[in-house]
Chain A
């Protein structure tokens, strides 16, 4: 990026700046006319100056231009105007005034808009440029760059710069002109007074910036301190587990507290200085009139200056301070923003950045095969020493290569070099004719894959993460409004942003030999199964939600599967395992809320405790005459809970797991109960709501408090229609109701299959139901569809919703699905136990018969299956060909018979 902010602004926005400047100049005459008109209305129309010679009419809209004397004088008559009477002139001039008001405001509107838009465009450009540089940080720089600091720079620190850009050139031009005009006017009246004013201005413009230098230093300090604060907060949040584990709350609090104090102190210094400077500035601008009165008055008394001139000078001077003040403010803002800009560019200093990323130009894209030759290879170790020196090797690719570390870091280092993760090494590595380090990014990204110890997972679905490596460039534009696209692209062009949209189709399916997205899903699921994640993905699928549009095939057959499952239960004597949802029967295995809604809440206002406070729901159960009974039930539950959970310390895990009432609420419920025990019968509205929330979560079969009798159950079943009516009448969309012949999109797939609740009271029911579901899913050939839904499973921030094994699997499949010519694996199998790692290794070796696989292994145990073994000792590299890589015969049948049952909640 340009070193100076002004150069940056000028380079990227000179056309817009000049155009806005031009419009600003254009608007000035109109502005002056509108200032002049009130005088004319008063003088000519109201006081009647235009009619003073006894004229009955006066010209309106007369256009005469008088040439100045030095151009020879005379005048040009363009239009003599309409002859109008006094009232006519008044009305005419007033409307003219109104017209100019509109024109002026129109100009103002346009200028403000244009400045704002210009600022926003430049801000967008700057943010994008900065982000583009984020992508270029070298691996070495990334060790010191903090992510949260970088994020605040791009988000917050450049924001004021954007606000300033619209004013960067226009304000000084405009205000400078105004100030110069006023000064010029003073000069014309009296040179000495003009020079005096000029001298004071000169003092203002030299002393004040000097005083502000300290302010700038403080500003810099403040910016760094607040950036570090953001960084520190990010660090604490990322490492919050350690804070919890080591009870470091006090220390972290003190740490942030002292940072905030430091920030405050800097701010305080800034304020002191800033307002002192302001004081001086104000003083200097008030000193000039003092000089005018004193000195000018003296000259006037002496008779060297006539009084009219003095008055004119003083009134002209009144015009001078506002633009000057604004100009000085602008200057202050300029310095401020410049400092910010410098700080920002320092963060993205050239030496921290790698080469510019070329825009998707298609380089020669041929398979990376042929001889892999390393000559004079030297690898630096973690402590700066050389762990490999002047080593050479050559092998023919494709091949599977075991990098046997035997405790040396060299194997891992070589893996990272081959994956182009490390730049600082000596020697030369080439594949075929091509130098590894010189491969264009587009080729390397497509042809080489690397799976390290830490699987990096982005938030989003599992599918998003798996196809991450396939998104090189869009192959087709998404269907969208043509005008919208045109506008998006035009904006992108003006701000140096990319033209591609993430809504486009980014995955080149034909290159992968696939028909459509469904085909791709099939491949993804297949790979996950090979890596041994089939069961997880199946369970994610069961827990996932079905989208009838995307999963049309499954949606069509879901009800069939539901009925088949029901039949299976019946014919196998498992009917008591699941209690189906039946509109005419109370479901003992479901909560009262669920029984009342007979559906699944889609919005928060109908779920959990909010339901008790929901006016629609309340009015429905009021109409059903249930409220009082349920509140009484709430009292009973509160009584039992306070009795049995008394004596457990708050925060005990049993509270969270079993109690209806949180430990912190216990005293409040106890208070309600005590009041009632003393005979207070009237419950306040919020107390009733609180009590009502308790039975809503009550499941008879699970909690067994014996609070539901048949009549109450019947009443609840009857209330279903009230609830549904009320909600439908109010057009509330907060609940999706169950339909035995339809899909409930708000419920997980598993619930849609079961259409009922597993019996809490039958031993081992969950497991047996899960098996039955798995059997029906297989029988109806729906496994793949279920697993496709599993691909939609959200992985959470940094994949925290996945287990370490699942993260590692996703990481591996992400590498496999792009079919790299070379896959480098360095510790990616670490989270798996030895048996599973062995199986994955076999699967990988089978997968890579045509391509190359480099894998770091800690010992010889499994290296025999590789074509080549590479050993590292004493700074040298030795390669051995395996005579006959004996790969374990591995029937695909055994692998595919994966266990997918799991458990149903």
Chain B
């Protein structure tokens, strides 16, 4: 796998869909590709948020701490972006991410990511658009829940 394939993966992420290819290449180049063994944690709930990850290969579980122990609430696979909310809102990790099988991910460093956003308005706009869409979806879900 090379930078090119990573750029292809980044393009699949909704947040980066409309970003200029050269910028995505920069984003990929300034990120690190890391491999996690099965059961290895990307990060744990409550950790400070220092990076976001794009899953390139493999699967990862999203775990939440509950009084009864950790429970799995979702599973992530190819081209999923995870941990981006923490670095944008500067809050601790809200969940634990654990590799379910040998997994490869692109680690986007928080500082680098924020610098890229500061430098390229097009990227910031893409991120805002994605966040706005998520908010809209959440609102729609709330409406659906309250009306049912």
Q: Which of the 9-residue segments B31-39, B78-86, B124-132, B133-141 touches chain A?
A: B31-39
Cβ proximity bits A705-716 to B, threshold 8 Å, 1 near / 0 not = 110000000000
Q: Which of B32, B40, B105 has the most CB of A within 10 A?
A: B32
From B22, B26, B29, B33, give the contact of A761 (CB < 8 A).
B33
Asked if B119 and A763 sit within 8 Å, CB to CB, the answer is: no
Q: How far is the CA of A815 from the CA of B14 in the complex (A)?
A: 61
Task: Evaluate contact between A647 and B36: CB separation under 8 angstroms.
Answer: no
Partner of A643, one of B2, B22, B40, B105: B22
Asked if residues A763 and B35 are in contact (CB atoms below 8 Å), the reply is yes
Q: Count how many chain B residues have C-beta atoms less than 8 Å from C-beta atoms of the other chain.
A: 25
A76: B residues at CB distance < 8 A: none
Complex formed: what's the CA distance from A244 to B69 in Å? 53
CB of B92, distance to nearest CB on chain A (Å): 19
A67 to chain B, nearest CB (A): 101
Query: Is A703 in contact with chain B by the CB < 8 A criterion?
Result: yes
A659 nearest CB neighbor, chain B only: B29
Q: Are B115 and A654 in contact (CB under 8 A)?
A: yes
Whether B25 is near chain A, meaning CB under 8 Å from some CB there, is: yes
A335-370 residues with Cβ-Cβ distance < 8 A to B are none
**A486 in the interface (beta carbon within 8 A):** no
CB of B100 to closest CB in A, whole Å: 14
Determine whether the beta carbon of A704 is less than 8 Å from that of B30.
no
Residue from B4, B29, B36, B40 having most chain A Cβ neighbours under 10 A:
B29
Q: Mark A633-661, 1 if CB is under 8 A from B, else 0.
A: 00000001001111111001110011000
Instruction: Give the residues in chain A near B40, CB-CB below 8 Å.
Output: 763-764
CA distance A744 to B10 in the complex (A): 42
Whether B16 is near chain A, meaning CB under 8 Å from some CB there, is: no
Interchain CB contact under 8 A, B2 and A705: yes
Would B34 and A761 count as touching, CB distance under 8 A?
yes
A760 on the B face (CB < 8 A): yes
Tell me whether B119 and A704 are in contact (CB under 8 A). no
User: Which residues of B in the span 104-148 have a Cβ within 8 Å of any Cβ on A?
Assistant: 104-105, 107, 112, 115-116, 119-120
Complexed CA–CA distance, A752 and B29 (Å) = 30
The answer, yes or no, to whether B74 is at the interface (CB within 8 Å) is no
Decide if B32 touches A760 in the complex (CB within 8 Å). yes
Total contacts A to B, CB within 8 angstroms? Answer: 61
**Is the Cβ of B35 less than 8 Å from the Cβ of A658?**
no
Complexed CA–CA distance, A351 and B33 (Å): 68
- Minimum CB distance partner of A763 in chain B: B34
- The answer to whether A761 touches B3, judged by C-beta atoms less than 8 angstroms apart, is no
Assembly CA distance A705 to B4 (angstroms): 8
Is B73 in the interface zone, CB < 8 Å from A? no
Partner of A658, one of B30, B36, B104: B30
Which residues from chain A contact B1 at a C-beta distance below 8 Å? Answer: 704
Q: Which residues of A contact B29 (CB under 8 A)?
A: 640, 644, 658, 703-704
A647 to chain B, nearest CB (A): 7
Known contacts A658-B29, A763-B42; A644/B22 CB under 8 A = yes
- Is A78 interfacial (CB-CB < 8 Å)? no
Chain A residues with Cβ below 8 Å from B104 are 761
**Given the interface contacts A643-B25, A658-B29, A763-B40, does A706 sit within 8 Å of B34 by beta carbon?**
no
* A: interface residue count bin: 20 to 34
Q: How far is the CA of A768 from the CA of B115 in the complex (A)?
A: 29
Q: Which A residue's beta carbon lies closest to that of B26?
A: A644
Determine if A704 and B25 form an interchain contact, defined as CB atoms under 8 angstroms apart: no
Q: Is residue A480 within 8 Å, beta carbon to beta carbon, of the partner chain?
A: no
Tell whether, in the assembled complex, residue A644 and residue B25 are in contact, meaning their CB atoms are under 8 Å apart.
yes
Taking a contact as CB atoms closer than 8 A, the residue among B3, B25, B42, B119 that contacts A648 in the complex is B119
Residues of B within 8 A of A702 (CB): 32
Is A889 at the interface (CB under 8 A from chain B)?
no
Set of chain B residues within 8 Å of A704, measured between Cβ atoms: 1-3, 6, 29, 33
Q: A761-B35, A762-B35, A763-B40 are in contact. Are A653 and B115 (CB under 8 A)?
A: yes
In angstroms, Cα B5 to Cα A704, docked, is 10
Assembled-state Cα–Cα distance A553/B36 (Å)? 38
Alpha-carbon gap, A656 to B142, bound state (A): 47
- In the complex the two chains form, is A647's CB within 8 Å of B120's CB? yes
Residues of A within 8 A of B4 (CB): 706
Q: A701 — nearest CB in chain B belongs to which residue?
A: B33
Contacts of B36 in A (CB 8 A): 763
Chain A contacts for B120, CB-based, 8 A: 647
Indicate if the CB atoms of B119 and A705 lie closer than 8 Å.
no
Query: A765: nearest residue on chain B (CB-CB)?
Result: B34
Distance (whole angstroms) from the CB of A658 to the closest CB of chain B: 5
Known: A648-B26, A704-B1, A761-B34. 14 other contacts (CB 8 A): A648-B119, A649-B119, A654-B119, A658-B30, A703-B3, A704-B33, A705-B2, A761-B32, A761-B35, A761-B104, A763-B35, A763-B40, A763-B107, A764-B40
Q: List 18 A-B contacts (CB under 8 A).
A: A640-B3, A643-B22, A644-B22, A644-B26, A647-B120, A652-B119, A657-B30, A704-B1, A704-B3, A704-B29, A705-B3, A760-B32, A761-B104, A762-B35, A763-B42, A763-B105, A763-B107, A764-B40
Give the 3 A-B CB pairs with smallest separation, nearest first: A706-B2, A763-B34, A644-B26
